[in-house]
Structure 1
Amino acid sequence: MREDLDGLRELVPPPARPQLGDQTWEWLFTRLGSRLPADYVEFMETYGGGAWAGWLRLWAPLDAGDMGLAACAGSLLGAERQARAEFPHHYRLPLYPEPGGHLPFGDSIDGDRIGWLTSGPPDEWQLVLMPRHEDEESRLSGSLAGTVLQWLSGRLRVAGLYRFDEDELAEAATFRVWGT
């Protein structure tokens, strides 16, 4: 986990002031009803909310507004519950806070979602991508930092993640803080 974040820092230097929001982690844990994986907390304290490669958006975790994790995840999960009631065959996985449910913490500009499958203690949750045009989720192994590092380096190719061409890789390794 630490090596992944160090490698990502080398590839994409973190911002001087990560955009987390004005609340506390305890506020977020209370809102969600659970703690979150330690690697996610460290990742977000390093980079904050923003967009990776202009494509993958990770919501600011401590923002109490409409662009914060609690509001975005709540809105998305509410919409998915309504859709699941009408089209249950499209929803194989439970939705948070159901046991083992999908809890999103970001999305892509194309409507794909990234989050966890919340089975077991938070540090054991599995990262998962929910591609908008696929019937199956992409289950990922490893840390969030490792996933982003492999993706930006062109070493991770799974449904739900933009696939960079070789000539795009040098320019893909970017991070933009919300509001800049």
Structure 2
Amino acid sequence: MATVADLMEIIGPPTKPASAVDWAAIEAETGLVFPSDYKAWAARYADIQLNGFLYVNRPYGDGAAREYGIHRTGQLRSLIEEWDTIDLVDDEGRETEVPPFPLYPESGGVYPWGSTDNGDYLLWLTGPDPEQWTIVITDGKTWWHYPGSLMDFLVGIMSRKVRCPLFPEDFPDGTDVEEYTPEDHDRIRAEHGL
């Protein structure tokens, strides 16, 4: 199983501070216990953007984690509610019609941890044991399931040993990282009048 140290070897150490996370409050609010690799990552890094494309978000605090999860999966719900099946693509790009994944706050539902510049949803497929959560990526129409942890996925993607068929062929073409603290997000929103 890959670790934050493995990811750090590829993308470098953090350059901005990671604020403390109140895991007890977030887990009580969401009804989920988050994986240890995500907690270890959030203890080291602020929000990050990998290679100008893939965003990994820290958990939302101040009572927003459940609301955020419901909002993001609600967007997916509106896309799939008319279908009995979704298109699940394998690593070679072959599609199979399968029943939709459950959506948070349903038991075992997918829960968001990031996004891409293409608007892809980066999700965990949750379950009773957070150390067994796996990764689901979707653009809302096509879905891909990676049977590893968050760090397995990030290390695999950034080392080009794992390829998500929904991502651009040339991603990643480097290991650059942008880090965003809450103050950075506030500044960006103010610059854009949001």
- 1:133 Cα deviation from its structure 2 partner: 4.7
Partner of 1:97: 105
TM-score for the superposition, normalised by structure 2: 0.73
Q: Counterparts of 1:153 and 1:164 in 2: how far apart (Å)? A: 12
Query: 2:1 aligned with 1:6, yes or no?
Result: no
User: 1:83–1:176: structure 2 CA closer, same or farther, 3 Å change rule?
Assistant: same
Larger helix proportion of the pair: 1
Over residues 91-114 of structure 1, what are the superposed CA-to-partner deviations in whole Å (9 max), with x where a residue is unaligned?
511101212211111111111111
Q: Counterparts of 2:13 and 2:62 in 1: how far apart (Å)? A: 23
Q: Counterparts of 2:27 and 2:176 in 1: how far apart (Å)? A: 29
Identity of aligned residues (%): 24
TM-score for the superposition, normalised by structure 1: 0.78
Q: Could you say what secondary structure the match of 2:39 adopts?
A: helix
Larger strand proportion of the pair: 2
State how 1:152-171 maps to structure 2 within 5 Å.
152-164=158-170, 169=173
User: 1:31–1:160: structure 2 CA closer, same or farther, 3 Å change rule?
Assistant: farther
Q: Which runs of 5+ in 1 are unaligned?
A: none
Preserved CA contact (<8 Å) 2:3 2:37: no
User: 1:60–1:7: structure 2 CA closer, same or farther, 3 Å change rule?
Assistant: closer
2:139 aligns with one of 131, 155, 170: 131
Q: Counterparts of 2:46 and 2:85 in 1: how far apart (Å)? A: 32
User: 1:23–1:8: structure 2 CA closer, same or farther, 3 Å change rule?
Assistant: closer
1:73 aligns with one of 69, 72, 84: 69
Preserved CA contact (<8 Å) 1:64 1:70: no
Q: Could you say what secondary structure the match of 2:106 adopts?
A: coil
Number of matched pairs: 169
User: 1:103–1:57: structure 2 CA closer, same or farther, 3 Å change rule?
Assistant: same
2:40 aligns with one of 35, 42, 48: 42
Q: Counterparts of 1:50 and 1:69 in 2: how far apart (Å)? A: 18
1:61 aligns with one of 59, 62, 71: 59
- Computed over aligned residues only, the root mean square deviation of the Cα atoms, in angstroms, reads 2.6
- 1:27 Cα deviation from its structure 2 partner: 1.7
